[in-house]
Chain A
């Protein structure tokens, strides 16, 4: 009798102890404090969403909980016991599984091979394939997915959603107590999100704790019960979903002071005629894109990861061109099928990934600057040291104009700081005399001082009558720089906002809560 009572007491106690708890977690990276004294509890049978802007520290926290990073300070408790993980496999064996945004599956192997990689049922080193397939199908059956996915199917033949289910199946087969999902809905369609929602409910009822990282509030509010907001590496607040509205959470996510100086916005008299006009254009990713870009203005494009920001820039510049719709450049209809044509028509593209798409790191600064002019000059023209035939002193002139800090233009571009590299990229496009500039994340990974000088430079361009389309995931930058703001969501333009709109309004539109086009497509 007494024992029985103790057992029930223990059980009740278990339900009240968090399955996973982190205490005072701090993590530094060079130059950044990624997590600052974060403490959180995750209960069994609860869906707990962790939200925040890019760089808020969500991913770092998840990586610490799953053993991929080791925290500088702080403790992790699993079922009330202090644990440390030296390697993700240790966390996995103790019952913490993580599903990353980029899948960790072997595309050319079967579903069963993937689920049991490293743990194949075997005898004397020989895999018992039949048993492995049976175990895989029983796991899939537990998830109610046995009709959808065959254990012997090759992973690359499955849809993104199905691949995600395979990852979940793998976690289940590892007897996970805690399942961490990093942006699980980012690549899913509306119906697939419903499917995931059902599945998460099923896992929850088994007593699994589910941690759900996202900045898509629409789905967070659909799936989660508890929401924790992180900002700049600090825990802002943990709230119950039933107590709050999406707008409250958005305020917690972005509510901050602007600590950065931006140049004054353009004046209406500086805006000239429309130089770029896109009507109802689309491709495999983008749908119904219409926009106008005027001389002398900065048109900001905001949107979350995967909303189609970068795809829009790439379509405009001909990297992955539009397949439908029309595009006018300088009042002439034009189809830009590859970047060379865009450059010839005086477009410039300052790419998001500077290292792989912006500069040639092992080439001297000089050759980097001359790359675009050489691309459109005759290939048989003589190579001149500091420029081209019509402008023999191009390199020193542009170098001075954008203020590249270097002792010699012969230095390889890889040795410059991020800010100076970005100036080299700018000089490259000025050399081609572009008058429509597309900036994709112009200041990502750049120190504050260079940030300000790049913002000044962008504004200087517009004063000279250049039209700028600026894509940015940093809301302060969008608000601080843009004369008009387009917000993207789900491959479309969700709506347009005027200059100086609040970050909250942008965020609501970017998460699919506001904006005429956005809401319609969510219902469809």
Chain B
């Protein structure tokens, strides 16, 4: 009996040292409630069919990748509203350049990443050097990208070669979708970046208190610009993933997926403070999975799509309210 208590307390200590964000409790609760509702009112596949679980994650890949980037800029007390149209630009440009030819793939990938880097750089420069509020700066960028892409392309343009669809559809050992591996790699990279590198540590400093960061000798502008570039690159990666699934890019894929607002919502639901300086990518991943679970549950139950929106909105607000309520109680 004492052995079990020892191992239990060791388990507790380990669990605490990993610091699992509390949002995972919320994720599990929503999953269980959804699963029970599914058992009662639908065919009960959520608990019985493992493919549904995989499907939830695959659906989450596009949002998850860009949400990791969004988490970086929000930790730096900034925000990026231009990701949705950057996703569109990436999807359209890459399929336009590829034109179904495998030989064009490297060129296309290089060009869209270069576009992403430039967009992130401009966002960062406008925010840090021109001192434009990040909300306005990236909203402006979003409008500019939307104008450019809609003026140039009006429908599905070009196509991706079969080989490129590997990214979207292939499975390793005919079991684990490659897309999930990509998502996990991006999340782990984001986590290592934030917790193990100087850049990450300094980004928390800039977001937590820019003046403290400045007085500690950090080059705050460069750090924030770096975060914006990385965020734009994750949007490009999401765009590439989407186009590999859709086989061709259209100007509406980004805004239709609401990737700008949903990446912000999942980041905040995951416990990253909009004010910056606090949070991390594991919480964001939970936020993304919560959205994925909700979608699946609503689909299983055949919930009206507008009611779906209402419930999603309510859940985002409740989750964030629970954070501020708790921190207020701690303060008192």
Task: Answer yes or no: do A and B interact.
Answer: yes
B4, CB-defined interface residue at 8 Å: no
Selected from B202, B211, B273, B278, the residue in CB contact (under 8 A) with A104 is B211
* Chain A facing B: main interface SS: loop
Contact A88-B208, Cβ < 8 Å, known A120-B201, A125-B199, A127-B201: no
- Is there an interface contact between B205 and A106, defined as CB atoms closer than 8 Å? yes
Give chain B residues whose Cβ lies under 8 Å from the Cβ of A122: 197-198
Q: Contacts A127-B198, A129-B196 given: A106-B208 contact, CB under 8 Å? A: yes
Q: Which residues of B contact A125 (CB under 8 A)?
A: 197-199
| In the complex, chain A residues whose CB is within 8 Å of the CB of B218 | 117-118
Residues of B within 8 Å of A119, CB to CB, are 217
Taking the complex as formed, is B212 at the interface, i.e. its CB lies under 8 A from any CB of chain A?
yes
Judging by beta carbons under 8 Å apart, are A88 and B215 in contact? yes
Known contacts A92-B217, A129-B196, A118 near B211 by CB under 8 Å: no
Q: Are B205 and A109 in contact (CB under 8 A)?
A: yes
Q: Is the CB–CB distance between B216 and A117 below 8 Å?
A: yes
- Could you tell me if A107 and B208 are in contact, using CB atoms closer than 8 angstroms? yes
Given A125-B198, A126-B197, A109 contacting B211 (CB threshold 8 A): no
Interface assignment of A522: CB less than 8 Å from any CB of chain B: no
Residues from chain A with a CB closer than 8 A to the CB of B319 are none
Given the interface pairs A105-B212, A107-B208, the reply to whether A89 lies near B201 with Cβ below 8 Å is no
Check: B254 CB closer than 8 A to any chain A CB: no
Q: Does B204 contact A (CB under 8 A)?
A: yes
Does A117 contact B205, Cβ atoms closer than 8 Å? yes
A126 x B216 contact (CB < 8 A) = no
- Please tell me if B277 contacts chain A, counting CB pairs below 8 Å: yes
- Most chain B C-beta atoms within 10 Å of own C-beta, residue among A88, A104, A107, A118: A118
- Give Cα distance in the complex from A162 to B277, angstroms: 21
Q: Taking the complex as formed, is B213 at the interface, i.e. its CB lies under 8 A from any CB of chain A?
A: yes
Question: With a CB–CB cut-off of 8 A, which chain A residues contact B204?
Answer: 106, 108-109, 113
Among B201, B202, B218, the one with the most A-chain Cβ atoms within 10 Å of its Cβ is B201
Contacts of A88 in B (CB 8 A): 215
B196 and A126 form a contact (CB under 8 A):
yes
B209 (CB) vs chain A CBs: closest residue:
A106
Q: Report the bound CA distance from A106 to B216 in whole Å.
A: 11
Interchain CB contact under 8 A, A89 and B209: no
Within 8 A of B (CB), among A86-113: 88-89, 92, 104-109, 113
Closest Cβ of chain B: how far from A109's Cβ, in Å?
Answer: 6
One of A104, A113, A127 near B209 (C-beta < 8 A): A104
Instruction: Establish whether residues A108 and B205, one from each chain, have CB atoms under 8 Å apart when the complex forms.
Output: no
A153 to chain B, nearest CB (A): 13
Q: Is the CB of A108 within 8 A of B213?
A: no
Distance between Cα atoms of A6 and B311 in the complex (Å): 82
Interface residues on A, range: 10 to 19
Query: CB-nearest residue of chain B relative to A113?
Result: B201
Q: Which residues of B contact A109 (CB under 8 A)?
A: 201, 204-205, 208, 277
- Nearest B residue to A89 via CB reads B217
Do residues A117 and B212 form an inter-chain contact, with CB atoms below 8 A?
yes
Given known A-B contacts A113-B201, A118-B202, A118-B218, A104 and B196 have beta carbons under 8 A apart: no
- With A and B bound together, what is the CA distance between A117 and B218 in angstroms? 8
Q: Taking each of B209, B215, B218, which has the highest tally of chain A beta carbons within 10 Å of its own beta carbon?
A: B215
Who on chain B is nearest to A122 by CB? B198
Which residues of chain A in 234-288 are interfacial with respect to chain B, using CB atoms and an 8 Å cutoff? none
Closest to A67 in B: B215
Name the residue of chain B whose CB is nearest to the CB of A100.
B215
Give the contacts of A102-153 with B (CB-CB under 8 A): 104-109, 113, 117-120, 122, 125-127, 129
Residue in B197, B199, B216 whose Cβ sees the most chain A Cβ within 10 Å? B216
Give min CB distance, A307 to chain B, whole Å. 23
Q: Mark interface residues in B183-219 (1 if CB within 8 Å of A CB, else 0).
A: 0000000000000111101101100110111011110
CA distance A373 to B196 in the complex (A): 57
Query: Is the Cβ of A118 less than 8 Å from the Cβ of B216?
Result: yes
Residues of chain B with a CB closer than 8 A to A117's CB: 201-202, 205, 212-213, 216, 218
Contact with A along B259-282 (1 / 0, CB 8 A): 000000000000001000110000
Which of chain B's residues have a CB closer than 8 A to the CB of A129? 196
Contacts of A113 in B (CB 8 A): 201, 204
A108 touches B197 (CB 8 A): no
Bound together, the chains give a CA A80 to CA B47 distance in angstroms of: 77
Q: Please provide the chain A residues from 304 to 341 with a CB less than 8 Å away from any CB of chain B in the complex.
A: none
Contact B215 A127 (CB under 8 A): no
- Point out the residues of chain A lying under 8 angstroms from B213, CB to CB: 117-118
* The one of B196, B197, B208, B217 that contacts A118, using a Cβ cutoff of 8 Å: B217
CB-CB under 8 A from B197, the residues of chain A are 122, 125-127
B280 to chain A, nearest CB (A): 11
Chain B nearest CB from A447 CB (Å) reads: 30
Nearest B residue to A106 by beta-carbon distance?
B208
**Min CB–CB distance A53 → chain B (angstroms):** 27
Interface residues of A in 368-385 (CB under 8 A from B): none
Residues of B within 8 A of A120 (CB): 198, 201
A419→B196 CA distance, assembly (Å): 54
Chain B residues near A127: list those with CB within 8 A. Answer: 196-198, 201
0/1 interface trace, chain B 48-90, chain A, CB 8 Å (1 if under): 0000000000000000000000000000000000000000000
Contact B277 A108 (CB under 8 A): yes
With the chains together, A129 CA to B198 CA distance in Å? 10
Q: Which residue of A lies closest to B331 (CB)?
A: A156
- The residues of B that contact A108 with a CB separation of less than 8 Å are 204, 208, 273, 277-278
A393 to B197, CA, bound (A): 66
Q: Name which residue of chain B comes closest to A109, CB basis.
A: B204
Complex Cα spacing A126 to B205, Å: 16
Distance between A450 CB and nearest chain B CB, rounded to angstroms: 33
Kindly report which residue of chain A lies nearest to residue B332, judged by CB atoms: A284
Known: A117-B218, A118-B217. A106 touches B198 (CB 8 A): no
Q: How far is the CA of A113 from the CA of B198 in the complex (A)?
A: 10
**Min CB distance, A167 to chain B, in Å?**
11
**In whole angstroms, how far apart are the Cα atoms of A34 and B217 in the complex?**
27
Would you give the shortest CB distance from B332 to chain A, in whole angstroms? 9
A254: shortest Cβ distance to chain B, in Å?
33
A106, A120, A129 interface centre (most CB from chain B within 10 Å): A106
Minimum C-beta distance from B47 to chain A (A)? 38
CB distance from A209 to the nearest CB of B (A): 21
A122 to B202, CA, bound (A): 13
Chain A residues whose CB sits within 8 angstroms of the CB of B196 once the complex forms: 126-127, 129
Q: How far is the CB of A276 from chain B (nearest CB, A)?
A: 28
CA A393 to CA B218, docked complex, whole Å: 58
Rounded to whole angstroms, the CA-CA distance of A484 and B91 in the bound complex is 76
CB B302 to nearest CB in A, in angstroms, measures: 42
Residues of chain B from 220 to 239 with CB closer than 8 A to chain A in the complex: none
Tell me the complex Cα distance, A92–B197, Å.
24
Chain B residues whose C-beta falls within 8 Å of the C-beta of A89 in the assembled complex: 215-217
Complex CA distance for A106 and B204, rounded to whole angstroms: 8
Which residue on chain A has the smallest CB distance to residue B192? A126
Q: How far is the CB of A173 from chain B (nearest CB, A)?
A: 12
Q: Cβ of B277: which chain A residues have Cβ within 8 Å of it?
A: 106-109
Give chain B nearest CB distance to A181 CB in angstroms. Answer: 16
A108-B208, A108-B278, A127-B196 known; 6 new pairs, CB 8 Å cut-off, are A106-B209, A109-B208, A117-B202, A117-B212, A118-B216, A126-B196
> Chain B residues in contact with chain A, CB under 8 A?
196-199, 201-202, 204-205, 208-209, 211-213, 215-218, 273, 277-278
Nearest 9 CB-CB pairings of A with B: A106-B208, A89-B217, A108-B278, A118-B216, A117-B216, A118-B217, A104-B212, A118-B218, A88-B215
- 19 CB contacts below 8 A, A to B, read A89-B217, A106-B204, A106-B205, A106-B209, A106-B277, A107-B208, A107-B277, A108-B273, A109-B201, A109-B277, A117-B201, A117-B202, A117-B216, A117-B218, A118-B205, A118-B218, A122-B197, A125-B198, A129-B196
